[in-house]
């Protein structure tokens, strides 16, 4: 079981890396979906010596509890949040039969509401800090702590080697909150139409896009 001292050492290493980036004159930004597994990284970033902006993608299809949790953590940690949305209105996000793309083409829906808005925002930064972990999916298992991403941005993954157990140990040791839906059976929480409870999970990311082989929205697959 991890202890506070171990986590403090890890935090210091993350802060050292962030300072190295900043001392090179690089502009840093984080991103978060504000799920329970987001909490440790947000807590660690909030303790850095200078504010780091956090991008939050509001797809328009999120659970009300996710917005509630974002506001709670923003107040608790003193976060600086940048909310990004698709420039394409929901009225234009339907197929020829009038169905929303989340019903018929989830990849395109994610592209419109996540990938395009994130790409647009990231053009203003040099280093993107993301909380992805290798134990979350096969795609993420191949990531490195520092990688080159699209449009020349550097991707930094400080949580890459953390396990799910470490996430919950950190939350417990520092007495931090969980997403309101977590104890109601939801582990991986995305948009309302694409999220199921843990009763149907085969993996942490399995709580998304039920019935599909899909485990990624595109933010962490379209790397170049």
User: 155 - beta bridge partners?
Assistant: 128, 147
Cα dist. 221→11, 101, 110, 224 in Å?
A: 27, 20, 12, 9
Cα dist. 92→46, 100, 140 in Å?
A: 37, 9, 32
Q: Which of 110, 191, 194, 217 is catalytic?
A: 217
Beta strands 154-156 and 80-84 are: unpaired
Q: How far apart are the first and last CA of the chain?
A: 38
Please say if 217 is a catalytic residue.
yes
CA 81, 43, 157, 162 dihedral sign is: negative
**E strands of the chain, at which residues?**
28-31, 53-57, 80-84, 127-129, 146-148, 154-156
Instruction: Check if the beta carbon of residue 222 is closer than 8 Å to that of residue 108.
Output: no
Side by side, which strands form the sheet with 80-84? Answer: 80-84, 53-57, 28-31, 127-129, 154-156, 146-148
Instruction: Check if the beta carbon of residue 95 is closer than 8 Å to that of residue 104.
Output: yes
For residue 30, which of 132, 142, 139 has the smallest C-alpha distance? 132
Catalytic residue positions, numbered: 217
């Amino acid at each position: 079981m991890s202890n506070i001292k171990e986590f403090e050492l890890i935090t210091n290493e993350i802060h050292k890396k962030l300072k190295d980036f900043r001392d090179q004159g690089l502009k840093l930004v984080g991103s978060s979906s504000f799920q329970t597994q987001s909490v440790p990284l947000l807590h660690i970033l909030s303790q850095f010596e200078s504010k780091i902006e956090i991008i939050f993608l509001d797809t328009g299809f999120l659970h009300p509890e996710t917005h509630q949790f974002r506001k709670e953590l923003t107040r608790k940690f003193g976060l600086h949040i940048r909310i990004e949305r698709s420039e394409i209105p929901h009225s234009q996000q339907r197929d020829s039969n009038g169905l929303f793309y989340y019903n018929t083409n989830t990849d395109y829906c994610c592209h419109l509401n996540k990938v395009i808005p994130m790409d647009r925002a990231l053009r203003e930064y040099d280093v993107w800090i993301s909380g992805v972990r290798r134990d979350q999916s096969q795609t993420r298992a191949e990531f490195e702590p520092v990688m080159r991403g699209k449009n020349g941005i550097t991707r930094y993954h400080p949580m890459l080697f953390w396990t799910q157990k470490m996430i919950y140990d950190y939350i417990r040791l520092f007495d931090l909150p969980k997403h309101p839906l977590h104890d109601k059976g939801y582990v991986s929480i995305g948009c309302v139409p694409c999220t199921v409870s843990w009763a149907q999970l085969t993996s942490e990311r399995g709580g998304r896009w039920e019935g599909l082989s899909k485990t990624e929205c595109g933010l962490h697959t379209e790397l170049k």
